[in-house]
C-alpha cells in the first residue's frame, strides 16, 4: 500500500495558446481517484505516513481516535491537538471524501437514505435503518456496478469506479454519527450492523472491501468496533471471492444473490452465472459455512411470473438440500420495481406461497421486509434517477 498521497489527478493547466495534444477519450473520461485518507491504512501505515511527512507518529492515533471513536473530522473538536496547524493536519490526513447530495426519510423516520457525491462527482448511496433491536447501515462499495443484472437499478448504470477503503468507511462514520446524534426516530442509537448491499459488487473490489470490513470490526482507535458477526457481505456469486473471504478468518455473514435455482433463468437475471453457475456458487457457499460456521443467506428477489413459481421454490429447496440444511437460510423479498423495467413484484400471497413451500421442504426461510420502498430504496435507484436527470 502506498504511504504517500497519489499525485493530483488534474494535470496543471498549460499556458494559453499552448498546442494541446490529442487526448484519447478513454483517458479523459477516467474518473478521478480520491485522495489518500488515514482510514485507507492500517495502524502501522498510518504512523509511518505521518512520520514521513514530518509529524510526530502518535498523532496518527489521536486522529484515528477522533475519526473512529468520536466519529468526527471537525478540527474544533480535536482539542488534544495543537491549535497551530490542526486544520492543515486534518485536511491532509482526513480529507473530505463524501459530499451530501440529498437525504430522504421514509418509514416514519426510521429509514434515512443518503445520496453522496465522491471525488470526481460519481454518486453512491447508503441507507440507514433503525429497528427496535438494532441499527443497520446498507453501504456501497462501487459507484455503479459491472454485473449488469437487469432487475437492478445499479446494474443499468454500468461500473463508474471502485470506492477506496476510506470512501467505504466514511459512509459508516457519517451514518454512525447520525444515529448517535438521534437522527432516527426513537432517539440516539448505536450503529450495530453493516451490510454491503448498496451499489456495487464487493468481490469485484475485494481489497478495498476487506480493508473496510477489518476497520469496521476493529476496536477503536483502529476501527469502529462493530462486531464482524454483524457485518454482511453480499455477492452475486463470484466464486473465487467467496473462497477468499472464507479464508480471511473473519466471522462475517455471507449473502448470495441467487434469484433462480436453474441456470437457464439465472443466466438472464444474474449474467455472471454464465461464468459461475448455480451449482458452483452453492458449492462455494457451502464451503463458506464449513470454513466459518456462519450460515449463508440466499437472497431471492421474487419477480412476478419470472422466478416466483411454486415449482421453482421446490427446485431451489432441492438444490440447497442436496448440500444439507444447517448451512443455509433463504430470504425471499418482493422485487422493488425499477423504473423503465417491465418487471414487478408478485402479489403478497405468491410471496407467502413461495416462502411456505421452501419451509415445507425443510429450508429455513424468512421473508425480508422492503424498507424505504417509497424513497426508491432498492439498490441504486437514487443514483440511477440522478444519472437519468443529469446524464
Ligand atoms: N452486488 C451484490 C450486492 C448489492 S445488491 C449482490 O449482488 O449481492 C444487494 C441485493 O439487492 C442483491 O441481492 C440484489 O440482487 C438485490 N436487488 C437488486 N435490485 C433489486 C430490486 N430491484 N429489488 C429487490 N432486490 C434487488
Distances (CA, A) of 162 to 122, 143, 165, 369: 10, 6, 9, 29
Residues 223, 213: Cα–Cα separation, whole Å: 9
Best probe residue, ligand 1, of 142, 144, 234, 265 (max atoms within 8 Å of C-beta)? 234
Q: Are 221 and 84 found together in one domain?
A: no
- Nearest of 7, 61, 60 to residue 35 by alpha carbon: 7
Residues 227, 231: Cα–Cα separation, whole Å: 7
Task: Return the half-sphere exposure (C-beta side, CA atoms, 13 A cut-off) of residue 206.
Answer: 12
Distance 320 CA to ligand 1 centre (A): 20
pLDDT of residue 374: 55
pLDDT of residue 179: 98
- Nearest of 114, 49, 65, 377 to residue 218 by alpha carbon: 65
Q: Are 60 and 200 found together in one domain?
A: no
**Residue ID of nearest Cα to ligand 1 atom 7:** 236
- Nearest of 167, 148, 154, 155 to residue 32 by alpha carbon: 167
pLDDT of residue 7: 35
Q: Is residue 195 part of a domain?
A: yes
DSSP 8-state assignment for residue 352: H
Q: Are 110 and 224 found together in one domain?
A: yes
Distance 257 CA to ligand 1 centre (A): 7
8 Å CB contact between 139 and 380: no
Which residues have any ligand 1 atom within 6 Å of their CB?
151-152, 197, 201, 234-236, 257, 299, 301, 333, 335-336, 338, 378-379
Residues 370, 313: Cα–Cα separation, whole Å: 20
Domain assignment of residue 349, given as a range = 97-390
**Residue ID of nearest Cα to ligand 1 atom 15:** 257
Residue 197: alpha-carbon gap to chain centroid? 5
pLDDT of residue 32: 85
Q: Is residue 370 part of a domain?
A: yes
Distances (CA, A) of 225 to 70, 101, 218, 220, 305: 12, 28, 5, 6, 44
Q: Are 102 and 88 found together in one domain?
A: no
Q: Is residue 17 part of a domain?
A: no
Residue 125 among the catalytic residues: yes
Q: Are 164 and 85 found together in one domain?
A: no
Q: Is residue 51 part of a domain?
A: yes
Distance 380 CA to ligand 1 centre (A): 9
Q: Is residue 15 part of a domain?
A: no
- Nearest of 316, 388, 381 to residue 138 by alpha carbon: 381
Q: Are 60 and 132 found together in one domain?
A: no
Element (H, E) at 294: none
Residues 17, 19: Cα–Cα separation, whole Å: 6
Best probe residue, ligand 1, of 124, 233, 256, 299 (max atoms within 8 Å of C-beta)? 299
Please state the φ and ψ torsions of residue 247, each to the nearest 5 degrees: -100, 10
Tell me the CATH number at 262.
Answer: 3.20.20.70
| Secondary structure (DSSP) of 117-152 | EPTTS-EEEEEEEE-SS-EEEE--SEEE-SS--TT-
Q: According to DSSP H, which parts of the chain are helical?
A: 25-28, 43-52, 58-64, 86-93, 165-180, 206-217, 239-246, 263-269, 278-292, 310-321, 348-360, 381-390
**Residue ID of nearest Cα to ligand 1 atom 3:** 197
For the record, the C-alpha cell of 175 comes out as 451514518
Distances (CA, A) of 116 to 98, 120, 248: 6, 12, 30
Q: From the CA of 337, give the closest atom in ligand 1.
A: 22
Best probe residue, ligand 1, of 152, 236, 242 (max atoms within 8 Å of C-beta)? 152
Q: How many CB atoms lie within 10 A of CB 158?
A: 13
CB burial of residue 291 (10 Å; 0-12, 13-18, 19+): middle
Residues 254, 233: Cα–Cα separation, whole Å: 5
Distance 155 CA to ligand 1 centre (A): 9
Per-residue pLDDT of the chain (391 residues; tens, 9 = 90+): 333 333 333 333 334 444 444 444 444 456 689 999 999 999 999 999 999 999 999 999 999 999 999 999 999 999 999 999 999 999 999 999 999 999 999 889 999 999 999 999 999 999 999 999 999 999 999 999 999 999 999 998 899 999 999 999 999 999 999 999 999 999 999 999 999 999 999 999 999 999 999 999 999 999 999 999 999 999 999 999 999 999 999 999 999 999 999 999 999 999 999 999 999 999 999 999 999 999 999 999 999 999 999 999 999 999 999 999 999 999 999 999 888 889 999 999 999 999 999 999 999 999 987 766 555 555 555 555 555 544 3
**Residue ID of nearest Cα to ligand 1 atom 13:** 257
- Nearest of 122, 141, 157 to residue 384 by alpha carbon: 157
Domain count, the chain: 2
Tell me the CATH number at 59.
Answer: 1.10.150.530
Catalytic residue among 125, 170, 201, 299: 125
Catalytic residue among 268, 379, 385, 386: 379
Q: Are 50 and 127 found together in one domain?
A: no
Q: Are 148 and 166 found together in one domain?
A: yes
Q: Are 69 and 153 found together in one domain?
A: no
Q: Which of these three, 93, 116, 132, is where a domain ends?
A: 93
Residue 24: alpha-carbon gap to chain centroid? 32
Q: Is residue 16 part of a domain?
A: no
Which residues have CB under 8 Å from 165's CB, separation 6+?
A: 39, 40, 207, 208, 211, 212, 215
Q: Are 195 and 46 found together in one domain?
A: no
pLDDT of residue 199: 96
Q: Which of these three, 93, 109, 126, is where a domain ends?
A: 93
For the record, the C-alpha cell of 238 comes out as 463470484
Q: Is residue 11 part of a domain?
A: no
Residues 222, 178: Cα–Cα separation, whole Å: 21
pLDDT of residue 317: 98
**Residue ID of nearest Cα to ligand 1 atom 24:** 335
pLDDT of residue 349: 97
- Nearest of 298, 302, 383 to residue 336 by alpha carbon: 302
Q: Are 182 and 219 found together in one domain?
A: yes
Q: Which of these three, 59, 78, 93, is where a domain ends?
A: 93
Q: Are 128 and 264 found together in one domain?
A: yes
Distance 112 CA to ligand 1 centre (A): 18
Residue 248 among the catalytic residues: no
Q: Is residue 27 part of a domain?
A: no
Amino acid at each position: 500500500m502506498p504511504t504517500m498521497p497519489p499525485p493530483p489527478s488534474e494535470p496543471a493547466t498549460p499556458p494559453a495558446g499552448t498546442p494541446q495534444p490529442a487526448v484519447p477519450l478513454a483517458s479523459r473520461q477516467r474518473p478521478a481517484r480520491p485522495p489518500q485518507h488515514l482510514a485507507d491504512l492500517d495502524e502501522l501505515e498510518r504512523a509511518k505516513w505521518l512520520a514521513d511527512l514530518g509529524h510526530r507518529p502518535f498523532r496518527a492515533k489521536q486522529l484515528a481516535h477522533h475519526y473512529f471513536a468520536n466519529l468526527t473530522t471537525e478540527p474544533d473538536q480535536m482539542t488534544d491537538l495543537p491549535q497551530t496547524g490542526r486544520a492543515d493536519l486534518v485536511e491532509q490526513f482526513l480529507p473530505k471524501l463524501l459530499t451530501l447530495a440529498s437525504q430522504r426519510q421514509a418509514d416514519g423516520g426510521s429509514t434515512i437514505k443518503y445520496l453522496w457525491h465522491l471525488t470526481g462527482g460519481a454518486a453512491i448511496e447508503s441507507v440507514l435503518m433503525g429497528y427496535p433491536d438494532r441499527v443497520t447501515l446498507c453501504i456501497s462499495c462501487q459507484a455503479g456496478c459491472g454485473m449488469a443484472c437487469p432487475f437492478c437499478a445499479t446494474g443499468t448504470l454500468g461500473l463508474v469506479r471502485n470506492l477506496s477503503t476510506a470512501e467505504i468507511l466514511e459512509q459508516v462514520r457519517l451514518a454512525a454519527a447520525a444515529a448517535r446524534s438521534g437522527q432516527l426516530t426513537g432517539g440516539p442509537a448505536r450503529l450495530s450492523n453493516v451490510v454491503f448491499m448498496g451499489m456495487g459488487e464487493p468481490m469485484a473490489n475485494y481489497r478495498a472491501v476487506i480493508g473496510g470490513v477489518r476497520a469496521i470490526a476493529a476496536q477503536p482507535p483502529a476501527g469502529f468496533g462493530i462486531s464482524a458477526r454483524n457485518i454482511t457481505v453480499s455477492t452475486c456469486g463470484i466464486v473465487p471471492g467467496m473462497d477468499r473471504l472464507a479464508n480471511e478468518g473473519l466471522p462475517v455473514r455471507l449473502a448470495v444473490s441467487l434469484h433462480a435455482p436453474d441456470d437457464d433463468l439465472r443466466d438472464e437475471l444474474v449474467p455472471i452465472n454464465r461464468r459461475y453457475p448455480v451449482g458452483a456458487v452453492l458449492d462455494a457457499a457451502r464451503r463458506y459455512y464449513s470454513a466459518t460456521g456462519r450460515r449463508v443467506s440466499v437472497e431471492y428477489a421474487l419477480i412476478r411470473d419470472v422466478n416466483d413459481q411454486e415449482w421453482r421454490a421446490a427446485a431451489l429447496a432441492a438444490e440447497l438440500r442436496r448440500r444439507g440444511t444447517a448451512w443455509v437460510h433463504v430470504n425471499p423479498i418482493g422485487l422493488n420495481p425499477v423504473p423503465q423495467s417491465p418487471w414487478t413484484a408478485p402479489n403478497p400471497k405468491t410471496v407467502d406461497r413461495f416462502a411456505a413451500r421452501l419451509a415445507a421442504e425443510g429450508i429455513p426461510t424468512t421473508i425480508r421486509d422492503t424498507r424505504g420502498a417509497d424513497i426508491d430504496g432498492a439498490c441504486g435507484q437514487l443514483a440511477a434517477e440522478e444519472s437519468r436527470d443529469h446524464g
